[in-house]
């Protein structure tokens, strides 16, 4: 991994920060793509303190805003010569209903569409740096999900957990479809379930539920342990592209998440919503 370059979204805390730290310890130059630059610079300082000779920088990326995603991509093209790893890690879970700057439901917009758009913009650099990898953080919660094509932005009715499950299913469908499209370009794509990890992801749950989950061990992994499957997909040679991984091994996702027709339909809808042509 020495000398390679990685971008980790949402790397100022939780699984993303541990992923960035581990990659830095392997000699990877890591870009921490974060919405809050104060938190991001603190994470950079922490990693530099803990990893001798770490090469880490923070850059502003707010996945709620396609303008910010464009600005981030432009900075990357101006500052980085190559990109071997794109880790689409950032996420929000079960938040109250709100929309992104572009009018998308927040969880669908940040967890899925924002990363779809970021990947679209960075694909040339990933192609140019091949062999390269893209890793999309999903969740076992996708088993509860379905893509609601009639109301993908939950404008008619909103259920916070269903919207999270939809976004995490979209991450897997995107992984499958993208893997198929880039297989001849030397780019591999993986979807990861990190397990139940004790991070800030539960911030929107009620306090009693948060205390319950943490006290009774439902969020059992540390953030470091939560980063293992992402790292497994980042460093293990000869992995099956397009697959879903958990506990550092290939895993079975839901039937709905392995449906190629739905993956294709979601791809077309995503291009339409973002106004991009991605053949």
Ligand X SMILES: NC(=O)c1ccc[n+]([C@@H]2O[C@H](COP(=O)([O-])OP(=O)(O)OC[C@H]3O[C@@H](n4cnc5c(N)ncnc54)[C@H](OP(=O)(O)O)[C@@H]3O)[C@@H](O)[C@H]2O)c1
Quote the least distance from Cβ 141 to ligand X, whole Å.
Answer: 7
With contacts defined by CB under 6 A, how many residues of the chain interact with ligand X? 32
Quote the least distance from Cβ 35 to ligand X, whole Å.
Answer: 4
How many Cα atoms occupy the beta-carbon half-sphere of 180 within 13 Å?
12
DSSP codes joined into one string, the chain: -TT-EEEEET-SSHHHHHHHHHHHHTT-EEEEEES-HHHHHHHHHHHHHHSTT-EEEEEE--TT-HHHHHHHHHHHHHH-S--SEEEE-----SPPS-B-TTS-BHHIIIIIIHHHHHHHHHHHHHHHT-SEEEEEE--GGGGG----TTSTT-SS---HHHHHHHHHHHHHHHHHHHHHHHGGGTEEEEEEE--SB-SGGGGGS-HHHHHHHHHTTSS-B-HHHHTHHHHHHHH-TT--TT-EEETTEEE---TGGG-HHHHHHHHHHHHHHHT----
Quote the least distance from Cβ 67 to ligand X, whole Å.
Answer: 13
Q: Per CB under 6 A, does 234 bind ligand X?
A: no
Q: Catalytic: which of 112, 164, 228, 244? A: 164
Quote the least distance from Cβ 187 to ligand X, whole Å.
Answer: 20
Residues 107-166 within binding reach of ligand X (CB under 6 A): 110-111, 137, 139
Cβ atoms of 196 and 220 within 8 Å: the answer is: yes
Query: By Cβ distance, which residue is nearest to ligand X?
Result: 14
Residues 38-57 within binding reach of ligand X (CB under 6 A): 39
Stretch that binds ligand X, among 31-39, 183-191, 231-239, 266-274 (CB under 6 A): 31-39
Q: Per CB under 6 A, does 31 bind ligand X?
A: no
Among 14, 145, 242, 243, contact with ligand X (rule: CB under 6 A):
14
**Catalytic residue flag (residue 164):** yes
Among 5, 13, 119, 129, contact with ligand X (rule: CB under 6 A):
13
Among 98, 200, 222, 268, contact with ligand X (rule: CB under 6 A):
200
Cβ atoms of 191 and 210 within 8 Å: the answer is: no
Quote the least distance from Cβ 218 to ligand X, whole Å.
Answer: 9
Among 113, 172, 219, 257, contact with ligand X (rule: CB under 6 A):
219
Among 62, 85, 189, 243, contact with ligand X (rule: CB under 6 A):
62
Which amino acids are annotated catalytic? 164
Residue ranges binding ligand X (CB under 6 A): 9-10, 12-16, 34-36, 39, 61-64, 89-93, 110-111, 137, 139, 193-194, 196-197, 199-201, 219
């Amino acid at each position: 991994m020495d000398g390679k370059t990685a971008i980790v979204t949402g790397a100022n805390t939780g699984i993303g920060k541990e992923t960035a730290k581990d990659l830095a310890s392997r000699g990877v130059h890591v870009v921490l793509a974060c919405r809050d630059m104060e938190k991001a610079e603190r994470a950079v300082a922490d990693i530099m303190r803990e990893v001798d000779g770490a090469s880490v920088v923070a850059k502003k990326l707010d996945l709620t805003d396609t303008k910010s995603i464009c600005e981030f991509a432009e900075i990357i093209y101006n500052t980085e010569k190559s990109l071997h790893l794109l880790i689409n890690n950032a996420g929000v879970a079960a938040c109250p209903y709100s929309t992104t700057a572009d009018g998308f439901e927040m969880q669908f917009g940040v967890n899925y569409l924002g990363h779809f758009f970021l990947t679209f913009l960075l694909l040339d650099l990933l192609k140019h740096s091949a062999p390269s990898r893209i890793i999309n953080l999903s969740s076992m919660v996708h088993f509860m999900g379905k893509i609601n094509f009639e109301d993908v932005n939950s404008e008619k009715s909103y259920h916070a957990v269903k919207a999270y499950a939809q976004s995490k299913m979209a991450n897997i469908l995107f992984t499958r479809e993208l893997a198929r499209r880039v297989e001849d370009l030397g780019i591999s794509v993986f979807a990861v379930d990190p397990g139940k990890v004790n991070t800030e992801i539960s911030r929107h749950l009620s306090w009693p539920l948060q205390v319950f989950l943490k006290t009774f061990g439902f969020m059992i992994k540390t953030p470091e342990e939560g980063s293992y499957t992402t790292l497994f997909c980042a460093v293990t040679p000869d992995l099956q592209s397009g697959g879903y991984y958990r506990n550092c091994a290939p895993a079975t996702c839901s039937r709905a998440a392995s449906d190629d027709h739905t993956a294709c339909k979601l791809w077309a809808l995503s291009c339409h919503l973002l106004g991009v042509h991605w053949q």
